[in-house]
Structure 1
Amino acid sequence: MHINLDKSLYFLTSLFPIIFARDDSQLIANVVNDVLQKRYLRHPIELKGLVGTEEICRNVELLMKRVRIIGIWGMGGIGKTTIAKVLFAKLFPQYDNVCFVVKEISVDRLLFELLKEEISTSNLVGLAFDMKRLNNKKVLIVLDDVDSLDQLEHLCRDFRDLSEDSRLIITTRNRQLLAGRVDWIYKVEKWKASESLQLFSLEAFKETHPQRGYEDLATMAVKYAGGIPLALKVLGSYLRSKSIKFWESTLRKLNKYPNETIVNLLKVSYDGLDDLEKKIFLDIAFFFNGEEKDHVISILDACGFEASSGIDVLEDKALITISYNNTIEMHELLQKMGFDIVRRECSGDFARRSRLRDTEVRAVLKDNKGTDAVEGITLDLSLIKDIHLSVDTFNKMNNMRFLRFYIPLGQSPGHVYLPRALKSFSNKLRYFEWNGYPLESLPSTFHAKLLVEIRMPHSRVEQLWRGKQELDNLEGIDLSDCKHLIMLPDLSKASRLKWVNLSGCESLCALHSLSTIRLRVLF
């Protein structure tokens, strides 16, 4: 069978941007150029599963009427590539020359294609023109999933020399790559519940709503995905045509172990962090999700993390967001990814992991198996009935930076039973929270030199500690509703102390230890 190469290339390139490697580069360049100029309308790009993109694309189109270079930014799986493809498919007929580039191609190569009028092996869609010829053309370029500054620097600068009608769209997970290089950054937010359910249903049931009997399960799956289109599609595809029992089992499993496909996609941004930034990410996932930013910075700075710049990096890479009231928020799927990263540190032994939560904490404390690998523990006391601790429960956890035993608002706590005294806590503690601490004081060996914040509301303490402590980092104390508190310790060396909460401390005799301190807030 004889195949006409020219016609075959002509047909294939008309379906979607593809580059072919062949020695006869000029022939292919001419073919692709002709296709891009004349034939897209005959074979429009078909894109499926575009539920929920209409409003976003409409917003970006409106922006494109006012600005020339737009960055589309958001976390992995949020739909940036789909949005870029939809825009490209809709808008290319309005332009003389168009190009859709994926991240594997360097911008140096792109410029070579532009300037040298040559097409070679790459994912670049044909631009075989020199810059002078492009100056008088309307050009549309899409750079998708950019992750390197080298890819942008020259292109954004040289793009300004093209006609005023030319447009450049860049998608990335890293906002910092766009700063100062684009005219507008459009952040893609998580999808609304109605759009999420529709997209999930299309994947799971091939229709826009759940099948009868699956409604509640579909709602649970959509809630798990948290408005992330890729997660919705992965879960929907995985659950398609499966029984109700299979759905129930899968959703239960997801509460413990996240979907590996979703984790691998989200983890790309995490893998690009340096070691300190990774520590900050994991600390936020376990201990500080939903906490006030400045408060978190103070605690993590005491760990030597340079937290302000690290948190900025996490925000730029869409791993966290900073809300209107300056609190740090991490998407639930990213938080679960953080839990999974730590779980893989030692899958068979809780006590060898760096951070522990809830059932893991209970297991380690109950059996007194703590080790020096543990840097922090967090336990929701409403999830336990009771737990008995020994006098040396915390002795081996001498690298612990964070201890958090808390009670969610409106919940009833379980009971933590302790002997009359504890031997010690880690001297490396930066944050100590124990709601309802059951003893009269902290251990005599307790050292607060590195401590930034201590929270012990509703506790039985009569005094925190005896004698003087070096309190170089202490910024806050919460002893609210400690009905048995008689006196405060000597706080004269707490030069950084900003606030103290003593509300409801009805047995407290005097506040003379605060007389030499200039507090911002005293409750």
Structure 2
Amino acid sequence: MDLPPHDFDDISRKITTTTGGLPLAIAVIGSSLQGKSKTSWKVTLQKLKSVPNREVFNKLKVSYDMLEAEQQEIFLDIACFFIGKDILHPSYMWKASNYFPEMELLVLTRKSLIKITKDLKFWMHDQLRDLGREIVRCEDINFPENCSRLWEPEFALEVVQRKKVSENLKVIEIYLHEKDSRLLEMLKFEEIDYSIMCKLARGLRMLRTMALIDSWIAKLPKTIGGLESLLELDLTRTRIRKLPASIGNLKKLRKMSMLQAPIKKLPKEIGGLESLLVLDLNYTKITKLPTSIGKLKQLEIVGVIGTMIRELPNAIWMLKNLKVLNAGYFVKIWREKFQVKFRVYLFLGGYSYQRARLGDCPQL
């Protein structure tokens, strides 16, 4: 078996790591580097880190092309957004798109295109991640804003600010950290305001996920209700204090997070979210839940930890699909009101209680 020169050991290991250890990728790249100078090896390593080697790309794409359409969509979603993320919430999104994630993920796993870790998170070789992102990039090389997925926060922000959002867009993610001072400065004066958000909400019938985590957005336009295909809305740590009544028009929405946002009140129209499964209001400034929450018949998980809520509306106890209730220790839970027929896990001030043991709860 041919081996690289001894003084090539270090860069050889780096190239092997960058390919994700895929035998096919190693074989193809190794053949192309045989007899080449160390400079050529370094250039190849840099290319591998930026854009997939075309020959490797074409070889690996054979496996992708053999997938069914739904499996391809899920593969691209994972490659662009969900590596290292929990499998639960993306599965909700895929189910709402009429996919069968349990079956499709099994196929992707068996084909070694993805892995699911012991703690139920997605994992993917770097080379396969690059393959997926390159496939999306090739949807429109000249005008990447027309692609179906925007996963780079800085570029996604630029597209939104320039109002170049395409009707083909399915997922957009703007996730900013404090260290991104330049991006935060760009958002400081609410440059994502009505004019831009209205553009997002107008005509984007395909948009499934909107994540505006850590952005400086302080208000959503009424036209947000026009995102008829939206499945997930993540407003974690935004500056939003109020939701428009039109939020109730998001009939397909499966998950909504307002975690650590300064919102004080939910509109009664929240009851229109007939497909909602997860409602995360943890550490908001909400003091009371509207009675219309009882209309959320599909709701499975509710989080109100760290809020000023001290008593829950009677209607919440009639939610037959409720499985998890994350509530603060000071929330009053009345046993006679608790009529949920299925097992529910209560988390109160760091303690958890199963439905079958509600009598052990000191507040019951």
Q: TM-score range by the shorter chain?
A: 0.7 to 0.9
Q: 1:369 to 1:307 in 2, by over 3 A?
A: same
> Cα 1:222–1:405, aligned 2, differ >3 Å: closer, same or farther?
farther
Distance 1:432 1:251, change over 3 A: farther
Partner of 1:434: 235
Alignment counterpart, residue 403 of structure 1, candidates 210, 231, 237: 210
Query: Are 1:460 and 2:259 matched, yes or no?
Result: no
2:223 maps to a residue whose letter is S
What is the letter of the counterpart of residue 391 of structure 1?
Y
Paired residue for 1:478? 280
1:33-182 counterparts in 2 under 5 A? 48-49=1-2
Shift of residue 219 of structure 1? 5.5
Q: Identify the match of residue 319 of structure 1 among 103, 113, 116.
A: 113
1:366 aligns with 2:167: no
Match of 2:361 in 1: none
Runs of 4+ in 1 over 6 A off after TM superposition: none
Give CA-to-partner distance per residue, 1:231-279, whole Å, 9 cap, x none. Answer: 34444544941439x82x6545444322212211211111001222211
8 Å CA contact 2:246, 2:269 repeated in 1 = no
Structure 1 Cα separation of the partners of residues 175 and 217 of structure 2 = 17
Which of 171, 180, 188 aligns to 1:376? It is: 171
State how far apart, in whole Å, the 1-side matches of 2:270 and 2:261 are.
21
Supply the distance in 1 between the matched residues of 2:168 and 2:148 (Cα, whole angstroms): 5
Q: Distance in 1 between matches of 2:175 and 2:51?
A: 19
Counterpart residue identity of residue 201, structure 2:
N
- Which secondary structure does the structure 1 equivalent of 2:112 belong to? coil
TM-score w.r.t. length of structure 1: 0.53
Spell out, residue by residue over 1:269-323, the C-alpha distance to the aligned partner (whole angstroms, 9 max, x if none). Answer: 1100122221122122223333444543332111112333222222222222233
Of 396, 404, 418 in structure 1, the residue corresponding to residue 217 of structure 2 is 418
Task: Summarize the Cα distance change of 1:466–1:367 in structure 2 as closer, same or farther, 3 Å threshold.
Answer: farther
Q: Is the 1:437–1:461 contact (alpha carbons within 8 Å) kept by the matching residues of 2? A: no
Aligned partner of 2:325 in structure 1 is 522
What residue in structure 1 maps to residue 78 of structure 2? 284
How many residues are aligned here?
305
Point out the more displaced range, 264-273 or 280-289: 280-289
Note closer, same or farther for the CA distance 1:372–1:509 as it changes in structure 2 (3 Å cut): farther
CA distance in 1, matches of 2:262, 2:49: 35
1:389 paired with 2:192, answer: yes
1:367–1:218 Cα change, 3 Å: farther
Distance 1:493 1:419, change over 3 A: closer
Per the alignment, do residues 464 and 264 of structure 1 end up closer, same or farther by CA in structure 2, a change over 3 Å counting? Answer: farther
Q: Which residue of 1 aligns with 2:140?
A: 346
> Counterparts of 1:250 and 1:444 in 2: how far apart (Å)?
54
Q: Which residue does the alignment assign to 1:444? A: 245
Q: Is the 8 A contact 2:81 2:151 kept in 1?
A: no
Deviations 1:478-498 (CA, angstroms, capped at 9, x unpaired): 22222x223334211222212
Larger radius of gyration: 1
Q: Is the 8 A contact 1:448 1:469 kept in 2?
A: no
Residue 511 (1) aligns with residue 317 (2): no
TM-fit CA distance, 1:460: 1.9
SS in structure 1 opposite 2:205? coil
* CA drift at 1:229: 3.1
Match of 1:68 in 2: none
Matched to 2:294, the amino acid is S
Change (3 A) 1:255 1:434: farther
Alignment of 1:229-268 (within 5 A): 229-235=23-29, 237-238=32-33, 240-243=36-39, 247=42, 250-268=44-62
CA distance in 2, matches of 1:253, 1:463: 50
The equivalent of 2:360 in structure 1 is none
Relative to the length of structure 2, the TM-score reads: 0.74
Q: Specify whether residues 421 and 468 from structure 1 end up closer, same or farther in structure 2 by C-alpha distance, changes over 3 A only.
A: closer
Percent identity for Structure 1 against Structure 2? 26
Is the contact between residue 93 and residue 254 of structure 2 (CA under 8 Å) also seen in structure 1?
yes
CA distance in 2 between counterparts of 1:307 and 1:470 reads: 26
Q: Output the CA distance in 2 between the equivalents of 1:517 and 1:342.
A: 40
**1:368 offset after TM fit, Å?**
1.8
